Amino acid sequence: MAAVTREQYFESALEILAGDGFAGLNVGRLCRDLGVTSGSFYHHFGGWSAFVEELLVFWENRQILILASGSFGQAGPAADFAALMELTLGLHHKAEAAIRAWAANDEAVRAAQKRVDDARLKTVGRAVKGLVGDAALARTLTALGLAMLIGHQQLAAAGEDTDLAALIAEYTWLVHARA
């Protein structure tokens, strides 16, 4: 049996969430998918609640790390907005929809989901305000963008075929048209 890293547990958990929702995520399934014993899981995390806490931190920080690895915040609002839209295309949308469903059933997950939503609103809002200038309009356009993302994720999780790239193109057009 090969050694498995914490990150491999988290990546596997996101895949399980995407495929089977939060009800399908458990120690046994993780260990089977990774080809390890439950002892390996408990060695890494001590228990389920610690794993969930670390998984949520991993998920929250993933986007921050992606933005930090690029030139986000250095090339101006238009470049930042484009980078955020590109990041949005690359999100694990079915896993995010499962996390949102899980948040309706678990306070710790709900708190993490709120932190992610708040961070998205703040980050996208800053770029949008830099483009449109008006704070109230920027809040409205940013809320529209988050609603579009959540709606797409929910539809995709339900098996609906929505073209996120087309949605983002229209959203981008709208934001730039208001600039």
41 located within any domain: no
The predicted-structure confidence for 127-163, as pLDDT tens digits, reads as follows 999 999 999 999 999 999 999 999 999 999 888 988 9
Residue 1: per-residue pLDDT: 59
This prediction has a pTM of 0.89
The pLDDT value recorded for residue 71 is 66
Look at the block and give the residue holding tokens 């193109």.
169
Q: Kindly state whether residue 42 falls inside one of the protein's structural domains.
A: no
**Domain annotation covers residue 145:** yes
How many CB atoms are closer than 10 A to CB 81? 22
Q: Is 21 part of a structural domain of the chain?
A: no
Query: Residue 9: what pLDDT?
Result: 97
Tell me whether residue 13 is in a domain. no
Q: Is position 32 within any domain?
A: no
pLDDT bin (cut points 50, 70, 90) of residue 62 is confident
Whole-number pLDDT of residue 74: 81
pLDDT at 100: 96
- Residue 138 falls within a domain, yes or no? yes
> In this predicted model, what pLDDT tens digit does every residue of 81-117 receive, in sequence order?
998 999 899 999 999 999 999 999 999 999 999 999 9
Phi-psi region of 106 (alpha: psi -120 to 50; beta: other; left: phi over 0): beta
Residue 22 included in any domain: no
What total number of domains does the chain contain? 1
C-beta pairs of 138-142 under 8 Å, 24+ apart in sequence? 141/174, 141/175, 141/178
Q: Domain limits at 151?
A: 56-177
